[in-house]
Structure 1
C-alpha cells in the first residue's frame, strides 16, 4: 500500500531533508586524502545527533553505521572502516535522517584528488540520470516513466544500470511502497499524484550491470570491479508540482571539484 503524505507531513519531511543536506555538507568539508571512513561517519553521526535527529541507517536491519560508504567498485551499502581516502578514489555517501517522525534519504558520489577522466564522466552522467528521473516524476506520469528516464540516459553512454537495487517510497518508514527501479518502460507502474514521496537513486556502473555481495551481507560490488556511482534525492509531489526535498547545495558550497 502506498502512503500518500499531507502537505503538513511533507513540511516535516522538508525539515528532515534540510538537516540531511547540511549533514552531507559537514561531511563534504572533510573528504580529502588521508581521512578515514570512520572519521567521516562520526562527523555525520555527531552532526545529526547534535541537531536532535537520528541517523536513519544506524541499526536499520542491523546496519552498524550512520553512512553507507561505497568506495570505487562498491555500488551501495559499504560499511565504514579505518581505510584512509587516497587520490583516485571515488566514494558514494548515502545518508538518512529521521526527524519529526519522518525520514529523508539522499546520496552523493565524490571524487578524491586526481580521478580518471572515464570515472569523472560516470559521476557526471549518473547525476544527470538522477535529474532526468526527477524531471519525469510529475503528476499523471507513472513510475515507469521515471525508471525509463534514468535508464535511457545512463545506457546512452554505455553504462550498466543496476537492477537488483531500487529507489523507494519513504516517510514514517525508511522504505515504503512503491519501489522505484532505475530501469523500466514508459507508461507502466503506479500513477504519480499529489502526496507521493519517493527516493530516486540511480546506481550506475562504468562496466556491466552485474553485481556481487561481500561476505558481510551488506557490501554490494560491481562484478567486473569497475567503478560505480550513486546519487539520490527525496522527491515529493505537492499541489501538482514536483519538489526535490533534499539538496546538494551544502555539498556544492564546500566541496572543491
Structure 2
C-alpha cells in the first residue's frame, strides 16, 4: 500500500478544492427544503462545477461495489439511505433527513466532504443522530495528529458512537485523498488505538463517520448504488478532508 505524503506547498494547493467543496455543500444546504427535487439539487451542484471549471469525481465513477458509472455529481441519501444515494426524481418531504456527499477536483487536487440536515420539522432523534456523526468527526479530526496511528482516528470515532449507544459498520469509511478521490488508505469508523499506519505530516485523508439509528447492517438498492439500513432506521453522515501537519490538523473542506 503506497501512502503518499503532500508537501506544505501541495497542501496549500489543495485548499482551493476544499474551499469549493465547502461552498457547494453550503449552497445545497441553503437550497434544500420541503418540495425541492433531488435532481434539482444535483443540477445545482453540476452548474457550480461548470462555472468553477472544476471536475466531478462522481459522474464517471465506477468502483467494484457500484453499478457504474454513477452518472451524477452528488450523492443524496434520504432517511434510511445513508451512503452513495443516487439522485432521482424525488421531492423532499417535511421531516426528511438528507445527507449530501460531494467530491470534485480543482486544478488537479480533490476535496471530499459530506453533511446531513433535516428539512422542515425535525425529529429529535434525527438531530441527535446527526450531532453524533458531527461529534465523531470532530473527535476523529482531533486524533489526526503527527505521531498518532490510523487506529487512533478510528478508535475516536467508534468511541463516540458507543457513547451514544450506536453500532458501527466498518465496510465503508474514510480514505486518503490527493489527485484522486479514493487513495489506497482505508480509514474504518472503529478500531484499536495505537494500531495501523503512522500519521505523518503531509498525509491528507477524508474522515467520514456515518451511523444508523438502530443497526450496523446495510442493504443495497436495486439502483446498484444507494446504501440503506437493513432495518429501515435512519442514517446520517458527516465528512471532511483534512491534512495532518506538525501542529493541529487542517480542515481543507471547512464550510462558512
TM-score, L = length of structure 1 = 0.95
Distance 1:101 1:226 in 2: 38
Pairing partner for 1:189 from 196, 219, 222: 196
2:84 paired with 1:83: no
What is the CA distance between 1:4 and its match in structure 2? 0.8
Q: Give the alignment of 1:208-219 within 5 angstroms.
A: 208-219=215-226
What is the CA distance between 1:114 and its match in structure 2? 1.0
What is the CA distance between 1:239 and its match in structure 2? 3.7
Structure 1 residue runs of 5 or longer lacking an equivalent are 250-257
Equivalenced residue count is: 249
Q: Give the alignment of 1:1-257 within 5 angstroms.
A: 1-61=2-62, 62-249=69-256
Residue 255 of structure 1 corresponds to: none
Q: Is the 8 A contact 1:3 1:177 kept in 2?
A: no
Q: Is the 8 A contact 2:146 2:245 kept in 1?
A: no
Distance 1:10 1:177 in 2: 18
Tell me the secondary structure at the aligned position of residue 225 of structure 2: coil
1:115-137: CA deviation from partner (whole Å, max 9, x where unpaired):
21111111111111100100011
Tell me the secondary structure at the aligned position of residue 3 of structure 1: coil
Q: Is the 8 A contact 1:16 1:102 kept in 2?
A: yes
Distance 2:163 2:246 in 1: 33
Kindly report the root-mean-square deviation, in angstroms, between the aligned alpha carbons of the 2 structures. Answer: 1.0
Residue 66 of structure 2 corresponds to: none
Residue 252 of structure 1 corresponds to: none
Structure 2 residue runs of 5 or longer lacking an equivalent are 63-68
What is the CA distance between 1:240 and its match in structure 2? 3.9
Distance 2:247 2:134 in 1: 25
Distance 2:42 2:200 in 1: 36
Q: Is the 8 A contact 2:145 2:245 kept in 1?
A: no
Q: Is the 8 A contact 1:133 1:149 kept in 2?
A: yes
Distance 1:177 1:8 in 2: 22
Q: Is the 8 A contact 1:68 1:76 kept in 2?
A: yes
Distance 1:163 1:141 in 2: 20
Poorly superposed stretches of 4+, deviation over 2 Å? 238-241
Q: Is the 8 A contact 2:56 2:73 kept in 1?
A: yes
